[in-house]
Chains A and B, each alone.
Chain A
Amino acid sequence: MSTTTKTWQAEVYELLRKHEVEIFGYVPDAGHKYLINTSIADPEVHAVSLTTEEEGIGLCTGAHLGGKRAVLLMQSSGVGNTINLLSLVKLGHFPFLTLVTMRGNFGEGNPWQFPMGQATQAVLEAMGVICLPAWTEEDVIPVVEAALTMSFKSGNAVAVLLTQRLLGAKEF
């Protein structure tokens, strides 16, 4: 099957699965809709609905202790909820991968999204998380592939930032 007929979201899911990601922690998010719904429907993975993003840090680190790969799907506004728990990732040098759909950046029309959206990369980096933004559809697969290598092979904490230029800004 030609990959050109697939959406980038479908390619991201296949890539995560190819790299043996088996646990998908998520909070509800329109930008992650495809990954969330596909992981829920996939009997070979655990899709874990979280009440807050910080639960995802415990989930991903616990999975690593048990020898499995997990990913945390969240929105930039939820990044703020994870900051202290990233102490565990940083101090323990846990491999950690998160895909973050951005708000409060390219073309955002809701002013409430700017404070956390503009701070997202800075606070992640302050806690030792490497940030890789994806600005276009062509960026997404190479960026996610790089993030998978940098996290699970090299043992880093890595966030892929899926920008609003890529996702499209929600209209207000």
Chain B
Amino acid sequence: MNRDFKFELDRSEVLPLLVGDAKEYLFIGGLGGTARDTTRLTDGGDNLFALGGAMGAAAMMGLGLALAQPKRKVLVITGDGELLMNLGALATISVLNPTNLSIICVDNGHYGETGYQTSHTGRGVDLEEIAKGAGIMNTATVQSKDQIENGAKVVRQDNGTSFVLLRVSTKESAPRKRNLDATACRIAFRNALL
């Protein structure tokens, strides 16, 4: 498959530009790289619940949270590998189309946690097209610096669920210590929110 995919951007540089003020959001982080990304974005704050396993759950956790908290903005940041595992979630989310839910998929075209095997997106699968096909109307791809501004707009828009595909290089996000105690994170998240 010959596609014009560029895996060049640095996730650590671009994600803060797409997200803006992280305090505005409740975050669900996928496992692996996006757990590190979201921990950095929120400075380890209690507005984040990041996975360490249970691969495939992030997008649907975002839907459950968005339905439960319609007045708060919910941002799911997940990886290509995790989303590929649960593509049906895009269909489920699109049918409900909550206006307070946004999804950023950080796509490096690889399964980084398991030794950087090439993922399906690294072989031509376009997750923005899949999100569109699922019926998500507000979508964007960000794979070069001139697309960042539009991507940030799509993340912020509030007339339906939005999906932004961020293509990045395999450069890892800087290591950041995180709490792997899911019970402590659950309780801290709820205590801060409820």
A91 to chain B, nearest CB (A): 4
A87 at the interface (CB under 8 A from B): yes
Interface residues of B in 48-85 (CB under 8 A from A): 49, 51, 53-69, 72
Which residue of chain A lies nearest to B59 when distances are taken between CB atoms in the complex? A58
Contact A68 B67 (CB under 8 A): yes
Contact A62 B190 (CB under 8 A): no
Query: Chain B's nearest CB lies how many Å from the CB of A118?
Result: 26
Residue from B26, B65, B72, B183 within 8 A of A91 (CB atoms): B183
Q: Report the bound CA distance from A93 to B86 in whole Å.
A: 23
Encode A90-123 as 1/0 by CB contact (under 8 A) with B. Answer: 0111100000000000000000000000000000
Provided the pairs A88-B57, A93-B183 are in contact, do residues A55 and B193 lie with their beta carbons within 8 angstroms? no
Residues of chain A at interface, number, CB under 8 A: 32
- Asked whether any CB of chain A lies closer than 8 Å to the CB of B189, the reply is yes
Instruction: Decide: A66 near B186, CB < 8 A? Known: A51-B89, A58-B59, A88-B57.
Output: no
Measured CB to CB, the closest approach of chain A to B81, in angstroms, equals 14
Given known pairs A23-B68, A93-B186, the reply for A58 and B96 (CB within 8 Å) is no
Best-surrounded residue of A61, A65, A92 (most CB of chain B within 10 A)? A65
Q: Looking at the assembled complex, report how far the CB atom of B134 sits from the nearest CB atom of chain A, in whole angstroms.
A: 10
Distance in Å from the Cβ of A34 to the closest Cβ of chain B?
21
**Surface stretch bound by B, among A5-13, A42-50, A130-138, A156-164:** A42-50
Contact status B56-A59, CB under 8 Å:
no
CA distance A59 to B194 in the complex (A): 18
Interface residue? B28 (CB, 8 A):
yes
B39 to A: closest C-beta gap in Å? 16
Listed in ascending order, the chain B residues whose CB lies under 8 Å from chain A are 26, 28, 49, 51, 53-69, 72, 86, 88-89, 91-92, 95-96, 182-183, 185-186, 189-190, 193-194
